[in-house]
Structure 1
Amino acid sequence: MRRTLIKSATIVSMDAELGDLDSGDLLIEGDRIIEVQPHIDLGSGSAEAEIVDGTGRIVIPGLINAHMHTWQTALRGFAANWTLLEYFRRMHAGLATVFRPDDIYIATLVGALNQINCGTTTLVDWCHNNPTPDHTDAAVRGLVESGIRAAFFHGSPKPEPKPGERHFSEVPHPRREVERLLAGPLTDRNGLVTLGLAILGPHYSTFDVSMHDFRLARELDLIASMHQGGGLAKTAGGWEKLIEADLVGAGINIVHGNDLSDDLLHRLVDLGVTFCVTPENEMIQGHGFPITGRLLKLGARPSIGIDLESVLAGDLFGATRAALSMQRALDNADSRRAHGTIPDTTTIPTREALRWITIEGARMLGREDDIGSLTPGKLADLVVINATDLNLFPVHDPVSTVTMQTSLANIEAVMIGGVWKKRNGRVLFDALDERKQQLAQSGRRLVHDIERQRRAA
């Protein structure tokens, strides 16, 4: 069985009992972490293992990107100056309608490879541009080919209805398609790529559709994730009605949630609902301030997502710093108003923020026993950071170095399930330049086709 021993590294385990090791060894066997100790001696077995010198390196759990629309990778930066209303009109009712399955495939593949490049080992791919099974299968194929651990959240397109068609808010999630995926490409619920549902929820659908979709998720034992916010809700009082129907609890995930009232947020937290904030995009496009601090006051924590590479970078460290900085700023401002001075000490430590992209991402997926920390027995998903780099050296507090100063340039290696996916600063994927060219061609065609469509209208 394949064995890897990382020696003499600084280990930030994110495991409450194991803690951090200033200098420690980490042993991997197959796809699992076997041991984390100050020193591990394999004796005569060392000849059968890959020995990796971790001197000057920080090893952390693989990052978990809890929300990204990976199908938009070929349109990087194209929507950077759009508000949320422009995004609805120009992306969902516009560009999304000219995507072919090959566009979905190459965007998902390259987008997932970049997530590995950025230190993400688990990606929640919230795919809501899949008008045909071929589009869906192309997205799944891209995820599988990339080698990333992924939760494919199957969604539904959001075009403007043609004459005689129902509005997307009136269309239930397609049971037959979900069952096809469970019987086919995503049969293994413990596989590298698993299935979840990206449903409309009460904010973007009629109540009947919400009831159908929530029941479907519960029947099939799948996570149901939904956007909450951005204009008026389609179903006034929808959450209260779903709660009364006993359909809200663990396995329900809300993305954004900026406009939820304090009372409703409290009820949802108490019921075990999880929340994902996408801090940069929420502030850029007009959702409102992320609910990070509101959750913390209720004893809950968010996971963090990138959301849209058509708007901003796919760097999860950057998104986490945005969430942390924004909430500290709000807390500092509240203290000034209430007491005339800033707090005596920081309201959110850096270790808390690092939880959001590790442990909390795992909890959102219901996979705390498998990923999110460097705990013996868990899957060997990890990131190696070169702490001798000019922008990180010297390291006084490894957690703060990771959270506040690490960038893509410092990510030396990434392992997923015991297999190296990035080494020596390079993603290990054949024909990457060719795939990049395919991505560029896809992006050019999409923009050309929508412009031609606009001129013909």
Structure 2
Amino acid sequence: MASTQQQRTLVRGGTVITMDAQGDLPRADVLVSGDRIVEIAPRIAVDDALVVDATGCIVIPGLVNAHMHTWQTALRGVAANWTLLQYFKNMHAGLATVFTPGDLHIATLVGALNQINCGTTTLVDWCHNNPTPAHNDAAVAALLQSGIRAAFFHGTPKPDPKPGETPFWEQPHPRAEVERLLKAHAGEPLLSIHAAVLGPHYSTLEVALHDFRMAKELGLIASMHQGGGPARTPDGWERLEEAGLLGEHINIVHGHALSDAQLARFCGLGMSFSAAAESEMSQGHGHPLTGRLRALGRAPSLGVDLESVMSGDMLSQARIALGIQRSLDNVAYREAHGSIPPTSTITTREALAWVTIEGARMLQQQDRIGSLAPGKQADLVLVRADTLNMQPVHDPVSAVVMQASLANIESVMIAGQWRKRGGRVLDADIGSLLESLQQSGRKITQAMGI
């Protein structure tokens, strides 16, 4: 995408929440050069930078959406009343089967642009409706076109098998296609390629062993869903652990079926966990893993999961995950002690970390993104705080997590480039894109009689 920005930018006079060692600064400047943050200080004197007035704004690190099936953007609201079982039947075995590469492209493009609109600067696009290389290419092209920082997790479709067909749970991940994508997009500054595998919960042991070895050999993060019905390989995690295939590059999404002993071992191995609190509570997964992870000294990253069910706003996800776990903790305390707990168990700063630095950690990019610090990528968001819904701001972190909404996302910078300014997403013909998205959504739903 063409840039209209000068080489150096000074974001002046905002309240800066770094989520880093520098802490919070009531009034500070952020100097950006190229794609990196150069300096954060109460006052920076420069004469060769474009000055952006951030007075009245809270400057936060770009949000990280650690798990989203962006291909479902044209189906917003379609699955809002479905349980997980209905979702498997109606989405994967139904609607997904009529997607063309063009459908994947428009859904991914609009979904990624909306993430920018909502303050997300890094999107984990967990793409598992990609039956052909053309589908993959369409999705990746859309991510690149949007300007978002993206991690494309190459998955596999999950239709019901037809007579004589090998079911998806017996099919090894297509390594050659992953290698093709890695080669085609080597060196892309805003794109990384990883693997969205079935895992032992949704595949045979043979497939799981193949997929985990592939990820380890190719140096990829392997992410998988865990939970939602009985496991196809009940002893799969034990066998994978015995084979030495677990470690920091393994990401588990949801994770409700894991025992306490398994969760403790996996935390010890450095594996990461991504929760989708609103989706999990809505569709019947169970309570998010947040509290169980906190008891082990760990924290989740968070993802929207499904825009076919809910909003793509990551601040809402932080708020919902925080509220759910506080409620669980409060109920547990009352049952044990017969009274309201004396303090909250989780702070709003923790919740903000779930959608910033913990998302970066899930991608093993915490040295580059997730917080604001000199040398890190210039991914930042200006949250308008001098507004009816935000004033007065006594605690900027709590204001962002508990009061802010999409309406307050004033500007978004990714790798030093403004992607949203003055409340408007840049370099995109939104009207035309929405018309194409609507056409795609109508075609897909009508084909399946919805």
Q: TM-score, normalised by structure 1?
A: 0.96
| Offset, 1:349 | 0.5
2: CA distance between counterparts of 1:229 and 1:358? 25
- Measured in 2, the distance between the counterparts of 1:183 and 1:73 equals 28
Question: Which residue matches 1:224?
Answer: 222
SS of residue in 1 equivalent to 2:449: helix
Shift of 1:193: 1.2
Q: Residue in 1 aligned with 2:174?
A: 174
Q: Deviations over 1:68-87 (max 9, x none)?
A: 00000000000000000000
Equivalent residue number for residue 317 of structure 2: 319
Please list, as runs of the form range in 1=range in 2, the aligned pairs for 1:22-33 lying within 5 A after superposition: 22-33=26-37
In 2, Cα distance between the equivalents of 1:429 and 1:207?
Answer: 46
| CA distance in 2 between partners of 1:171 and 1:268 (Å) | 26
- 1:399 counterpart = 2:397: yes
Which residue identity lines up with residue 157 of structure 2 in the other structure?
A: P
Flag structure 2 segments of 5+ consecutive residues without an equivalent.
Answer: 1-5
Structure 1 residue 182: deviation in Å? 1.1
Corresponding residue for residue 115 of structure 1: 115
Q: CA deviation at 1:429?
A: 2.5
User: After the TM superposition, which residues 36-55 of structure 1 pair with which residues of structure 2 at under 5 Å, given as runs?
Assistant: 36-42=40-46, 46=47, 48-55=48-55
Q: 1:34 matched to which residue of 2?
A: 38
Aligned equivalents of 1:196, 1:437: Cα separation in 2: 31
The alpha-carbon deviation at position 370 of structure 1 amounts to 0.4
How far apart are the structure 1 equivalents of 2:168 and 2:313? 32
Deviation at 1:389, TM superposition (A): 1.1
Task: Please list the CA deviations of residues 268-299 of structure 1 after superposition, one character each: whole Å capped at 9, or x if unmatched.
Answer: 11111100000000000000000100000000
Q: State the AA in 2 paired with 1:62.
A: G
Is 1:208 the counterpart of 2:212? The answer is no
Displaced runs of 4+ in structure 1, greater than 3 A? none
1:429 lines up with 2:427 in the alignment: yes
Distance 2:260 2:211 in 1: 25
TM-superposition CA deviations, 1:172-227 (whole Å, max 9, x none): 0001101111111x212x62111010000000000000000000000000000000
In 2, the alpha carbon distance for the partners of 1:245 and 1:225 equals 18
Q: Which amino acid aligns with 2:101?
A: P
Q: Distance in 1 between matches of 2:241 and 2:298?
A: 19
Q: CA deviation at 1:445?
A: 0.3
Distance in 2, Cα, partners of 1:242 & 1:235: 11
* Gap regions ≥5 residues in structure 1: 453-457
**2:13 is matched with which residue?**
8
> Structure 2: how far apart are the matches of 1:200 and 1:125?
16
Cα distance in 1 between the residues matched to 2:447 and 2:333? 52
- Alpha-carbon distance between aligned partners in 1 of 2:330 and 2:324, rounded to the nearest angstrom: 10
> What RMSD over aligned residues (CA atoms) do the two structures have, in Å?
0.9
Give percent identity, aligned residues only.
63
Deviation at 1:49, TM superposition (A): 1.1
Give the counterpart letter for 2:223 in structure 1: S
The TM-score, its normalising length taken from structure 2, stands at 0.98
Structure-to-structure mapping, 1:229-308, within 5 angstroms: 229-308=227-306
Structure 1 counterpart of 2:352: 354
**Paired residues for 1:102-141 under 5 Å:** 102-141=102-141
Partner of 1:414: 412
Helix, strand or coil for the counterpart of 1:55? coil
